[in-house]
Amino acid sequence: MNEFAELLNNLYFTYSTLEKSQLLQNYFKHTPDPERGYALAILANTLLFPTFKRSLIKEIISNRIDPYLFSLSLDYVGDLSDTISLLWPTNKELPMPKLSEIVLTFNTINETQYASYLIELLNRGNAVERWALLKLGTGSLRVGVSSRFIKKVLSELGAVDIKEIERLWHAISPPYLELFAWLAEKLPAPVIEEKLFFHPVMLSHALKKKDLPTITPDLFALEPKYDGIRVQVVSNKAGKALFSRTGDLINASFPDILAEIQAEVVLDGELVIRTEKQIGSFNDLQQRLNRKKPNKKIIEKLPAAIILYDILAIKGAPLYELTYLQRRKQLEDWYNIHKPRRMYLSDNIPFTHSDDLIALKEQVLQDKQIEGLMLKRKDSLYIPGRPSGLWYKWKRDPFLIDAVLMYAQRGHGKRSSLYSNYTFGVWQEDQLLPVGKAYFGFTDEELHQLDHWIRHHVLNRFGPILELKKELVFEVAFDAINFSTRHKSGLALRFPRIHRIRWDKPAKEADHLHTLLELMHDSK
């Protein structure tokens, strides 16, 4: 565990991507199996590992230190894992077990045994090992490396194309023995064709105004962007699966979709709720997403459908190297042969000149369940990740409101010492009602300005949460509004983010609840 903890610590305090890459390559080269495989899984967020409940952590620490003293320490340090790792006494006699032993033990013991085993490990570890263990167990490990970055490191380690790593990634699992053996040229590439796995998706960039003149009908195809979630249907001899865009398996929530697939195919599309008359709202879809085992009544009330816009494989033969137009032809041919119920082809929208696009967008957005346009180069291959210049998304303009900052909380990781999580509200008569939370949309400089302002405008403290003087206004952007029984205001904002800090605007001039209700009514 010591080597892995030191790796995490070094990654955390290293800002150079080159140095991070060197740290990882050195670790993977000199660390034996299965330790490096479990380390890889933790960094890439593919490891199945139980989460330590906050109540468990509090119970353990309250038996060893005065709760008030711990509260003061936590407030000063700003991070739970940091605080406990520093407070806990170090036992130099007995080292902490290997990472693989810790992972396997936590995945096999009963939940009632978590506390005793965690205490044993904390007693045996040093401060860095305790910090790493608690970060892993609380799900708050952030050391500045993405899954894509990890794959790039692996491709450099084995001198292979990163596309090969991407192709294999979701078909192999921790501790990745076959992956490292292949990278070391000890074994051939893992055989994955007969497995049921997620294929990495191709993503788009937001369209910028300067790019509009380059969108011409000879180069680009246009499709509506529906307000659902990106999904992938995989069907082969090993079974059938429905994946989210991040590779999460969502079969259980949508059994009605999988029942319609009888062919060996990999399809890319948008999951929506669709009745005979119309496509439902994203709020309708969320009611299905939140149910692991939907009953017959909810399936009939909110029937799921997929709007298909790409095809990645037929009968095991990959189609990635075909152009968009060639894949579209394959998709249309496949669809016309199989005609799966609850699946529909995405429309191609004709246009004659780039000057027509703004008016065309406004016309398409008359349909409230369409959130924008997708613009795809006709000659684009299907490249996992977010390649430049091939696919664009052009979404409707966000809603904007002026809201008052009400509460603040410290962030996590490198933001653990800064107040970066904000709750904001709008007026109902002379009372402020919370309507959302946001933790991004501002620059690093603005974050430090906000942190300074917050520390000088505290009204009350509720544990880690500060109630603030109601004086600062945010211009908040968001994509939609829905009714919500979970919020005192009765409303919930979708994807809220800070658009601008209104240092100049008095709080009394912020928006009222009826403004949001009118926006919601007008958007339906």
Within 139-272, residue ranges assigned H as helices are 147-158, 162-169, 177-183, 255-258
Instruction: Give the per-residue pLDDT at 218.
Output: 95
Confidence of residue 413 (pLDDT cuts 50, 70, 90): low
Residue 485 has pLDDT above 70, yes or no: yes
Confidence of residue 513 (pLDDT cuts 50, 70, 90): very high
DSSP 472-493: -EEEEEESEEEE-SSSTTSEEE
Residue 161 has pLDDT above 70, yes or no: yes
Residue recorded with tokens 């970066």: 420
Is the peptide bond prior to 34 cis by the omega test (within 30 degrees of 0)?
Answer: yes
Section 204-213 average pLDDT: 91
* Best CA proximity match to 78, nearest among 468, 463, 469, 467: 463
* Best CA proximity match to 199, nearest among 308, 329, 345, 318: 318
**Collapsed DSSP state (helix, strand, coil) of residue 500:** strand
Q: At what angle do helices 54-62 and 67-77 cross, to 10 degrees?
A: 120
pTM, entire model: 0.76
| Helix (H) / strand (E) containing 308 | strand 304-314
pLDDT in tens, 57-112: 888 988 888 888 888 888 788 788 888 999 988 877 788 999 999 999 999 999 99
How crowded is residue 329: how many other Cβ atoms within 10 Å of its Cβ?
A: 13
Residue 524 has pLDDT above 70, yes or no: no
Share of the chain above pLDDT 70, in %: 99
| Four-way CATH pick for 205-395: 3.40.50.360, 3.30.470.30, 3.40.50.620, 3.30.450.40 | 3.30.470.30
Q: Which of 345-349, 358-362, 395-399, 413-417 has the lowest mean pLDDT?
A: 413-417
Q: Identify whether the C-beta of residue 488 lies closer than 8 Å to the C-beta of residue 472.
A: no
pLDDT in tens, 240-285: 999 999 888 999 899 888 888 889 999 999 999 998 778 988 888 9
- How far apart CA 121 and CA 90 sit, in angstroms, is 11
DSSP 269-296: EEEEEB-SS-B--HHHHHHHHT-SS--H
Class of the CATH-defined domain 399-523: mainly beta
Residue 324 has pLDDT above 90, yes or no: yes
pLDDT higher for 461 or 271? 271
Section 326-332 average pLDDT: 98
Instruction: Give the per-residue pLDDT at 473.
Output: 95
**Collapsed DSSP state (helix, strand, coil) of residue 154:** helix
Instruction: Give the per-residue pLDDT at 293.
Output: 86
Section 470-480 average pLDDT: 93
| Four-way CATH pick for 2-138: 1.10.3260.10, 1.10.357.10, 1.10.1530.10, 1.10.10.10 | 1.10.3260.10
User: Residue 437 pairs with which residues in a beta bridge?
Assistant: 423
Q: Identify whether the C-beta of residue 41 lies closer than 8 Å to the C-beta of residue 172.
A: no
Burial of 289 (0-12, 13-18, 19+ CB in 10 A): middle
Q: What is the mean pLDDT of the chain?
A: 91
Instruction: Give the per-residue pLDDT at 454.
Output: 95
Q: Identify whether the C-beta of residue 262 lies closer than 8 Å to the C-beta of residue 251.
A: no
Q: Contacts from 424-427 at CB under 8 Å and sequence distance 24+?
A: 424/474, 424/476, 425/489, 426/401, 426/489, 426/510, 426/511, 426/512, 426/513, 426/515, 426/516, 427/508, 427/510, 427/511, 427/512, 427/513
| 429 contacts: CB under 8 Å, gap ≥ 6 | none
- How far apart CA 61 and CA 87 sit, in angstroms, is 9
* Best CA proximity match to 371, nearest among 279, 251, 476, 465: 279
Residue recorded with tokens 């490292």: 180
Q: Which of 80-84, 177-181, 213-217 has the lowest mean pLDDT?
A: 80-84
Confidence of residue 428 (pLDDT cuts 50, 70, 90): very high
Confidence of residue 397 (pLDDT cuts 50, 70, 90): confident
Residue 369 has pLDDT above 90, yes or no: no
Share of the chain above pLDDT 90, in %: 60
**Collapsed DSSP state (helix, strand, coil) of residue 175:** coil
Q: Identify whether the C-beta of residue 190 lies closer than 8 Å to the C-beta of residue 171.
A: yes
- Give me the residue spans of the domains in the chain: 2-138, 205-395, 399-523
pLDDT in tens, 134-158: 999 988 888 888 888 999 999 999 9
